[in-house]
Amino acid sequence: MRMTLAAISLAALPVAAHASPVFYGVQSSKTSSVLHGGNRELKTIGFTGSSTLWNGSNFLNWRDGSLTNNAGFHGWNDAIRRDMNTSGNAYAANPDRADNATPFAGEGMGTGTLAEVFGSFNGYKNMSWIIDGEDAGAYTLDLRFAAGQFLSADANADTVELAILERGGNSDLRIFGIFADGSLTGPIVMNRSSTGATGWTLDTLEISGAQAVKGVGISLDASWTNLVGFRFQNISAFNGPDIIAVGTSTLVPTPGSLALMTLGGLIGMRRRR
């Protein structure tokens, strides 16, 4: 078999294969953002020890999800009751915002939604809206991609496939991958010691002062394939985690939807002939 020079060169490149996830703290010198009033837009984000460099669009891949806390189950667009001041923590996890950020649509009723926190706000993910976990209650957060999209990790330990921004950097988080049939991968744990500073702070309605925003990028091993989303569970007995944003590497069509697209294209070509 004859190989081109380009193919030989690519084949000769070393690949840092790995059998378990690798964690990289966010690197502030590679990370930048801009404030629009009280709303923060991420511009770039990088990670210490990894060559991966993302922008804000990597945090806009979510189209569905749910939150289960001590008040029950909440879908993507469901109104979730909020703790809107520092006088108490009634809800294990709930939408919260920076003191001077744009109010949620349900502000007057004391609610917010997952779609607001993790969806698009004026074309970007608003880093001033978060899911606050300022108490000792357990919660589970599921985030899913659009139908027909999935994520598969490669075998390169340098490549970040999943990133999490968290306020305070003082909490641990259990993470699962979600398959199309609803089953889960085995869990991995994001430990607070693996996070790095983004370079900005966040003060929200539920707390009385600003805290550093920290984050981690995770290079998943190749067993994390054909994922339609992720599940996050708090494992700290106190104070968090407060999830600001979750980003992923580029998504691709699921094998089934890709086959359908190909079939549709062939049918279209046959009709045009």
Q: For 146-205, what is each residue's pLDDT tens digit? A: 999 999 999 899 999 999 999 999 999 999 999 999 999 999 999 999 999 999 999 999
> Under a CB-based contact definition with an 8 Å cutoff, are residues 238 and 181 in contact?
no
Q: What is the pTM of this model?
A: 0.87
Stronger pLDDT, 10 or 79, i.e. the higher one: 79
Contact 68, 46 (CB under 8 A): no
Is residue 62 within 8 A of residue 143, CB to CB? The reply is yes
Kindly indicate the confidence band of residue 10, based on its pLDDT and cuts at 50, 70 and 90: very low
Write down the domain spans for the chain. 16-272
CA 237 from chain centre, in angstroms, equals: 22
Which are the contacts of 52, defined by CB distance < 8 A and separation ≥ 6? 24, 46, 158, 159, 160, 217, 249
- Residues 97-105: what's their mean pLDDT? 97
Report the pLDDT value the prediction gives residue 89, as an integer from 0 to 100.
83
Q: Counting beta carbons within 10 angstroms of the beta carbon of residue 59, is it exposed (0 to 12), middle (13 to 18) or buried (19 or more)?
A: buried
The pLDDT, as a whole number, for residue 3 is 32
How far apart (Å, rounded) are the C-alpha atoms in residues 138 and 147?
A: 28
User: Is pLDDT of 270 > 70?
Assistant: no
DSSP-assigned letters across all residues of 54-112: EEGGGG----EEEEEETTEEEETTS-EE---STT---SSSEEEEBTTSPPPTTGGGTEE
